A and B are shown apart, each in its own frame.
Chain A
């Protein structure tokens, strides 16, 4: 399957501290790729590097012939990449409807309507006039994903979407990611919950010391728990 996003030898820095060192990654169309690794390994930094939120001083991040590392951060979403950061980061003073409207305005002229986005997250339909800061954790996560999907991305970056959520919400988010895969949206998922990774991913990239040590099919990870034990320290 053709790759939609390719990171080649990416060096990324926080100030003068190098976090990603020659980082390689490829994402196929309609694939769910999970990044696994210990805290501080560079998983979130990899997502931020794609979004232009950390300084990339070496390597390339190619999508549809464009090197995303050469774009300003606000131009990356226009290239079809959406990012849902850890902690959701909603506009808490705005209502659910206004949060979605901000997402739809960012997209400009597109095919997605608010209704289509709400079909993916029906629970939000009942909360449209509610201030987003007063939603439950799970609802906030859904709103964050819904808002990201307003820009009609073909690549979705999710940073620990299930963190702190109850099982029913986690199941709903898994269903949504699986549904997006059916539509051809490719997803890079940073996730600490190994069970979520194993149930959702097509491939798993093991990150250590700012490098992608190896990328393997999820079946191999399921069959051999030593992978998880080696790179995450559990299993």
Chain B
């Protein structure tokens, strides 16, 4: 199946609306959206593995943190430039995902969940142990000066809200269109078929391990890109981003928005951010509100917001 005009229109339309939002949103909400766009990239990376390939990982904080530290450490300690640091963040993501993938994919199901979680815990404890470099939970603050980008006399200030929003949107747009292309490609359908029936794919002659490893690495790269961008745009690199909480959050965002939908991760992340934001302004028991909302969503939208919309009304949604 190829990408239809309808697919292009929907995805480019969403990107255009988000572009306009930079000029329309109040300052506070623009800041929230910047964060959501970067974290939605994290969720999209998670979605590739969980939603499309059917591999439930509990260790994706490790890939996010690999990008975060891969970019943050050379920037902070070695004074490398922002673009080079972003590149090292991506490389760190590829390396960690490839090694973890080769080992963790020897398992399936619950064992895969546990193995990925244990690897992530090792990574997390590593960030706490090597405090000389990481400063543990306190983390590293990347100053505005460190994060300035110079292009022959012209400089880009990543602390500027509009610049930050536009860069977050650029990353989001690239990954969203890459996801659309991926899921509509033969490789994307191979992943869905593996999710549906792995043994059957093997019987048809597919090297399932290789396909799943590729999915882990691509997923890891997307998550690392989000981590690297997060550190560079928001100026903070801390071990909290490697904790188990950040492995569970993308799962929640994807489940809320709709697993195996290209736009679900954005919707889920946005929804979760704002429900916490508004409910915490009303009551200190905001987690109760969040919990009740999640239960209602599971009851009425069991496949997530977009997943249920696709199931009931728009079967063509990618």
Contact = CB atoms under 8 A, between A and B. Distances in A.
A194 interface: no
A23 interface: no
Interface string A35-56: 0000000000000000101000
Contacts of A77: 203-205
A51 B200 contact: no
Contacts of A66: none
Interface stretch (A94-102, A135-143, A179-187, A198-206): A94-102
Nearest to B200: A89
Contacts of A106: 204-206
Given A94-B196, A102-B193, A74 B186 contact: no
B252 interface: no
Nearest to B194: A91
B205 A151 contact: yes
Contacts of A58: none
Interface in B155-210: 186, 189-190, 192-193, 196-197, 199-208
A74 B202 contact: yes
Contact of A98 (B1, B206, B207): B1
Given A93-B192, A101-B189, 11 more contacts: A51-B203, A76-B205, A78-B205, A83-B203, A85-B203, A91-B193, A91-B197, A94-B192, A94-B193, A97-B1, A102-B190
In order of increasing CB-CB distance, the 4 nearest A-B pairs are A77-B205, A91-B196, A106-B204, A106-B205
B193 A73 contact: no
B186 A105 contact: yes
8 contacts: A73-B202, A85-B203, A89-B199, A90-B196, A91-B193, A93-B192, A101-B189, A103-B204
Contacts of A76: 203, 205
Contacts of A89: 197, 199-200
Q: Which of B192, B199, B204 has the most CB of A within 10 A?
A: B204
Interface string B245-273: 00000000000000000000000000000
Interface string A102-144: 1101110000000000000000000000000000000000000
A102 B204 CA distance: 9
B180 to A, nearest CB: 16
Q: Which of B186, B203, B208 has the most CB of A within 10 A?
A: B203
Q: Which of B189, B207, B208 has the most CB of A within 10 A?
A: B189
Contact of A53 (B1, B192, B203, B204): B203
A94 B193 CA distance: 8
A64 interface: no
A73 B205 CA distance: 7
A75 interface: yes
A147 interface: yes
A73 B189 contact: no
Interface string A18-47: 000000000000000000000000000000
